[in-house]
Amino acid sequence: MTERYRISINDLYSIDAEPGLSIFDSLHQAGYRMRVSCRNGVCQICKITLLQGHIEQRYPALKLCLLAEDKPAQVYACTAVPVSDIKIEIDGLLRPGELQMKKLVCDIAAVEQLSDDVYRVRLHLPVTGRQAIEFHAGQYLEIILPDQRRAAFSIASAPDLSSDIELHIRRIPEGEMSLAIIEYLTHNPRVEIELPKGDCYLEAEALAADTTVILAAASTGFSQIKSIAEHLLANQVSNPIHIYWGARAEADFYLHRLPLQWAAEHTNVQVHLVISEPQSSPDWTGRTALLPEAVVADFEHFENTEIFTSGSPAMVYALTDACEAKGLQMTQIHSDVFAYAPRQ
Q: How far apart are CA 278 and CA 159, in angstroms?
A: 36
Interatomic CA distance for residues 151 and 136, integer angstroms: 19
Question: What does the pLDDT average to over 299-319?
Answer: 96
Domain ranges in the chain are 5-89, 102-197, 204-340
The residues near 70 (Cβ < 8 Å, ≥ 6 apart) are 52
Q: Work out the mean pLDDT of the chain and round it to a whole number.
A: 92
Backbone angles phi, psi at 230, to 5 degrees: -65, -35
Whole-number pLDDT of residue 344: 75
Q: How many CA atoms lie within 13 A of 181 on its CB side?
A: 26
Residue range 102-197, CATH number = 2.40.30.10
**What does the pLDDT average to over 39-51?**
84
Looking at residue 42, what is its pLDDT? 72
74: pLDDT confidence band, cut at 50, 70 and 90? very high
Strand partners, 56: 63, 81
Q: Identify whether the C-beta of residue 236 lies closer than 8 Å to the C-beta of residue 95.
A: no
Q: Where are the alpha helices (DSSP H) in the chain?
A: 23-29, 127-132, 176-187, 222-234, 257-265, 291-298, 313-324, 337-340
Give DSSP secondary structure letters for 216-285: EEEGGGHHHHHHHHHHHHHTT--S-EEEEEEESSGGG-TTTHHHHHHHHH-TTEEEEEEES-GGG-TT--
Least confident of 13-17, 112-116, 333-337: 13-17
At residue 289, the 3 state secondary structure works out as coil
Query: How far apart are alpha carbons 36 and 44 in whole angstroms?
Result: 8
Quickly name the fold that domain 5-89 has: Ubiquitin-like (UB roll) (3.10.20)
Per-residue exposure over 30-43, b if at least 16 CB sit within 10 Å of its own CB, e if not: bebebebeebebee
Q: Regarding predicted confidence, which is higher, 259 or 20?
A: 259
Residue 130: pLDDT above 60?
Answer: no
How much is the pLDDT for 1? 45
With cut-offs at 50, 70 and 90, classify the pLDDT of residue 144: very high
In this structure, the number of other CB atoms found within 10 A of the CB of residue 188 comes to 11
Q: How is the beta sheet containing 333-334 ordered, strand by strand?
A: 287-288, 269-275, 241-247, 212-218, 305-310, 333-334
Q: Please state the pTM of the whole predicted model.
A: 0.78
Q: How much is the average pLDDT of 246-253?
A: 96
Q: Quick one: CATH architecture of 204-340?
A: 3-Layer(aba) Sandwich (3.40)
